[in-house]
Amino acid sequence: MLNRIFGLFSHDIGIDLGTANTLVYVRGKGVVINEPSVVAINIKTKQILAIGEEAQKMVGKTPAHIVAIRPLVDGVVSDFEVTEQLLKHFFEKVHRERFTIFPRPRVVIGIPYGVTEVERRAVEEAAMNAGAREVYLIEEPLAAAIGARMPVQEPGGNMIVDIGGGTTEVAVISLGGIVVSRSLRIAGDEMDNDIIQYARDQFNLLLGIPTAEEIKIKIGSALPLKERLTTPMRGRDLVTGLPKEIIIDDEQIRAAIKHSVAQVVEAVKETIEETPPELVADIMTKGIVLAGGGALLRGLSALVAQSTETMVHIADDPLTAVVRGTGVVLEDLESLREVLLPTAYRR
């Protein structure tokens, strides 16, 4: 009875709790929030100053007593209390127009495949403490496949490669479960770090993470391009300590991120090698689907196709594939219940 009353005043929410960005799906409305998973804290007073986009603007620009941190590392909770505050912020933002004093939503959260029992419990407890009345967990590759409208509950091989900020998840799915998978702690963030290291080694230039990410988005690629792309790279000269700008091209950035891209491709090949032959035959027919922000890297789909000799498709709006998958589960919780992980907080 109490559950039904809370349901009248609360939305059902799907969350892609990512290392770089958190996306929120509201049942009946679609994706309503896409904000950075960043929280700005005053370490003197322990007060939270900003969350999401406002906090992202502060990264690398704060005085010593204010830190802008990501409470999730490689897709798992590294700071429990800050993650709780992050979730509470998004719950309140979603319910703002309903004037609900204590929103108590049902929540479906995507988590990386293969996380430990402790890491899984940390996500559940953070969501419950933030105000959820029921918490459901789903593995991100499965959510991405559902969001990409792949027939995951049928007896046939479906291969998804979800390249996020902190992790790359490669999975072969059949009958609503993961048959073979790889979870790699190399993804978009690692490529940003590669660019920072390359700038330091080649040009004695110190870059910030937002600058490296912007360069990757503007001119990053996995294969040579038809037209040469260039962009300015601005940072601090490590020799003189003064501001410095150089013009960099796509070939240099390709060289910088080559190692990380190669490891992602290798993970895809290794997963195929372990897949039962009947499912491999299905994958050859249907192709491999790329999701997550990393799927937008120029030439990556072509490189994966070339390396695996298999068709590769990019999911529609790959950035939102996981959160749309949680939304599909929310809309039809009874028939898709089997794809969810067992949780302690389901009443």
> Would you kindly state where each structural domain of the chain is located, as residue ranges?
2-34+80-143+322-339, 148-186+261-318, 188-256
Is 148-186+261-318 assigned to CATH 3.30.565.10? no
Superfamily designation of domain 188-256: ATPase, substrate binding domain, subdomain 4 (3.90.640.10)
Given this chain, do its domains 148-186+261-318 and 188-256 carry the same CATH topology? Answer: no
Helix ranges restricted to H, the chain: 2-9, 53-56, 80-94, 117-129, 140-147, 188-203, 209-219, 250-274, 277-286, 300-308, 321-331
Residue at token pair 């032959």 = 277
| The one-letter amino acid at 151 | P
- Rounded Cα–Cα distance for residues 188 and 318 (Å): 14
Contact between residue 334 and residue 120 where contact means Cβ atoms under 8 Å apart: no
- Rounded Cα–Cα distance for residues 118 and 72 (Å): 14
Model pTM score: 0.88
- Correct CATH for 2-34+80-143+322-339 of 3.30.830.10, 3.90.1170.50, 3.30.420.40, 3.40.50.1000: 3.30.420.40
Q: Tell me how far CA of residue 261 lies from CA of 93, 243, 344, in angstroms.
A: 36, 30, 37
Q: What is the pLDDT along the chain (347 residues), one digit of tens a residue?
A: 444 444 445 789 999 988 888 999 998 888 988 988 888 988 888 888 888 888 888 877 778 888 888 888 877 788 888 888 888 888 888 877 655 556 788 999 998 887 888 888 888 999 999 899 899 999 999 999 999 999 988 999 999 999 998 899 999 999 989 999 998 889 999 999 999 999 999 999 999 888 999 999 999 999 999 999 999 999 999 999 999 999 999 999 999 999 999 999 999 999 999 999 999 999 999 999 999 999 999 999 999 999 999 999 999 999 999 999 999 999 888 888 888 887 755 54
In three-state secondary structure terms, 153 is: coil
